[in-house]
Amino acid sequence: MKRLLKYLPLLLLLNSCWKEVSPDINISVSGYVVDSVKNKNMKNVKVVILGYKYSICLMCFSQQNYDTIKSISTNNDGTFSTSFITDGKEDAYRIFVTGTKSDNYIPLNSHRGIDLKIGSNSNIRLQVREFTKLKAHIIVNNYNYDTLELSDNNYYNFLRSPVFYHKHSIDTVLITNVLPMTKVNFIFSKGIYYTNNELWRLTLDTISVTNEDTTYYSKTINTLQLKKE
């Protein structure tokens, strides 16, 4: 308790620095979203503006509560523009790029965002990385296991959870989002059950592929063959 009382003046000082934004202020924001590696503006990128309310928390010094104020998307030339009227309930406003694994980009520094200026127009530059498509034609001939599992180490691909094949041959095409020049490992394994009912996986083979535009790749290991088209 004495320790909390020791920091109480600091907490009160911090609380005095947080002032609600006055109501009925028109905030205008415009800008663009760019993939700076490819040097191109990105269309159809989702942008969200959050309103933050700060409060004192004795155990953590401060905490943030927020609400969505606006959700928009960039147009065909990668730009966006919007405005809103403050309601006097927030202490600050911040703009982010948002998205899901089904989108064709990943936000950069998405946890930070950019604070909006109060009382003047904000011109914002947001950054993303655009995905490219890796198309893998996977062929496995005559494997001698009851079940063959196929997974990968690509965070942006739903295949991270193993796909189970119960046939003795595979001929399938997988299309996944990858960042340019990112290495993806396709992992072939089988499950082994022990008496305690725990599943252990034995890795049979791993094929590493780096996505490059217009590159053809093939590799044969034992009975495993992968083609990248």
Quick one: which of 79, 77, 74, 81 has its CA closest to 27? 81
Among 18-22, 84-88, 204-208, name the most confident range: 84-88
- Domain positions in the chain are 26-130, 132-228
What's the confidence (pLDDT) of residue 8?
44
The pTM score is 0.69
Tokens of 147: 């079940």
CATH, domain range 26-130: 2.60.40.10
Q: What is the pLDDT of residues 85-96, one digit of tens each?
A: 999 889 999 999
Put the strands of the sheet holding 132-141 in their side by side order.
169-178, 132-141, 224-228, 217-221
Q: What is the pLDDT of residues 152-182, one digit of tens each?
A: 887 776 556 778 888 888 888 888 788 877 7
* Spatial separation of the C-alpha atoms in residues 30 and 128, rounded to whole Å: 17
List Cβ neighbours of 80 (8 Å cut-off, separation of 6 or more): 30, 31, 32, 33, 47, 72, 73, 74
| pLDDT score of 101 more than 80 | no
Phi, psi of 213, rounded to the nearest 5 degrees: -60, 140
| Strand stretches in the chain, DSSP E | 26-35, 40-41, 46-57, 61-73, 79-85, 92-98, 105-107, 114-115, 122-130, 132-141, 148-152, 163-165, 169-178, 183-193, 199-210, 217-221, 224-228
